[in-house]
Amino acid sequence: MENWINELKSSLKNTMKEILYPLAAIVISFIAGAILVYAFGKSPITAYKALFFGALGDWNKIGETLVTTTTLILTGLSVAFAFRCGLFNIGAEGQFIMGGVAALWAGWALSGLPPILHVTVTLLAGALAGGIWAGIVGWLKAKVGSHEVINSIMMNYIAMNLSNYLIMTVFNEPDKAFSYEIAPTAKLWRFAESFVQFKYSRLHTGIIIALIVALIAYYILNKTIRGYEIRAVGFNPSASEYGGINVNRNIILAMVISGLFSGLAGGIQTAGVQYRVNNLFGFTGYGFDGISVALVGNNHPIGVILSGVLFGALQKGGPMMQIEGIPKEVVGIIQGIIILFVASNFVRVMVQKYKENKEIKAQVAKGEVK
């Protein structure tokens, strides 16, 4: 036990080094964003001030930022975990929706259970639904060989429409475009109940769950045989099979675990934030944001936590920027630029090129190369 905590520490040190490049990329993209805001005829200083205060201006804002962060960490972990097995889980969105609906059912139908047990069951129901939803995609990939991207996109649509159907029929609150509320015993504890600082925010214990899940994901991936196998399949399925690893089983397993994370995110959204499920007019976007979060976090659980915080702050600071008269699209563009810079490894490539050039020059100077 202590052994792997130590290793986690040393890997954290390594991550610090790994973080430098994305961090530089983020700084560059913020500069690019500033130029963009300036081009729109607004002051970048006002814009970033609004972004900062909107996301972290007071305890309530921090609380709200963490509410979004919780969801993003979980969907980010979901995408990252599947990615480690070489799978592109674009279906996190659908798994998130199914998790939300399943938690709604458990939160309502099983009322009467003692509080803590009921919350746990509610969240587990959400996770399980997400796991099954992703498991179908994994099973299809393993048994029939159909591509997980296409299948999971389709499963997203099925999830959204199934959810809307259920919300408007069996779970419907009469004359409303949303479901009824879950039982009080199924609700996650909110910080507002004990801390007056968070009075106006919906910050709930889900953030702690998300952090624990990130550690679990790290443990599974790096400290278990199963995790090793999953990563091996991700690196090279053929070589793994040759090495005696059951590729199909690991594909299904990775998808199911990935779906558990997204489903849990949906469950937490129901049990901690909304207490009900809305009739969706379009995708919530949390699953798709998870892809960005995973990419910027380099598909590493710890990186996902950090990028989850970054994206949470961007999303919650965005409204304040809008109130200051900056179009909502600009916030989206800044997010896009960050992903572009980080995912393209722009800084690392530039630094490496610079170093190579220096070496060549030194060699030329010495007369070793002509």
Partner 1 sequence: MTKKTISLLLALVMVLTLFTGCAKPAEQPAGPAEETPAAPEAPKYSFGMVTDVGGIGDKSFNDSAWAGIDKAAKELGVEAKLLQSTKQDDYTPNLGSMAQSVDLTMAVGFLFEDAMKTSADQYADKKFGVIDTVVDKPNVMSVTFKEHEGSFLVGVIAGLTTKSNVIGFVGGMDFPVIVKFEAGFIAGVKSANPNAKVIVNYTGAFDNPDKGKEVALTQHQQKADVIFHASGACGIGVIQAADEKDFWAIGVDMDQSAESKKNKVLASMIKRVDVATYTVIKAYADDKFNGGAANAIELGLKEEGVGYSDGGKNVSAELAAVVDKYKAAINDGTIVVPGTREDLETFKPVEIK
Nearer to partner 1, 224 or 357 (CB): 357
Query: In whole angstroms, how close is the CB of 140 to partner 1 at the nearest point?
Result: 27
Q: Where do the DSSP E strands lie in 71-228?
A: none
Q: 299-317: b or e for each residue (b if 16 or more CB lie within 10 Å)?
A: bbbbbbbbbbbbbbbbbbb
Nearer to partner 1, 54 or 206 (CB): 54
**Footprint of partner 1 (CB under 8 A):** 31, 34-35, 38, 43-46, 54, 60, 64, 168, 175-178, 199-202, 269, 273-274, 278, 280-282, 284-286, 315-316, 318-320, 322-323, 325, 328, 357, 361
* CA-based max dimension of the chain: 84
> How many Cα atoms within 13 Å fall on the side-chain side of residue 165?
7
Query: In whole angstroms, how close is the CB of 302 to partner 1 at the nearest point?
Result: 26
Cβ atoms of residues 78 and 87 within 8 Å: no
Query: In whole angstroms, how close is the CB of 43 to partner 1 at the nearest point?
Result: 3
Reading the block at residue 113, the tokens are 């259970």
Nearer to partner 1, 4 or 354 (CB): 354
Reading the block at residue 163, the tokens are 């959810």
Dist. CA 55–CA 318, nearest whole Å:
8
Query: In whole angstroms, how close is the CB of 80 to partner 1 at the nearest point?
Result: 22
Q: Which residue has the tokens 């986690």?
A: 8
Nearer to partner 1, 14 or 357 (CB): 357
Q: Where do the DSSP E strands lie in the chain?
A: none
Query: In whole angstroms, how close is the CB of 159 to partner 1 at the nearest point?
Result: 15
Nearer to partner 1, 54 or 263 (CB): 54
Query: In whole angstroms, how close is the CB of 297 to partner 1 at the nearest point?
Result: 21
Nearer to partner 1, 230 or 321 (CB): 321
Dist. CA 277–CA 291, nearest whole Å:
23
Helix (H/G/I), strand (E/B), else coil: 113: strand
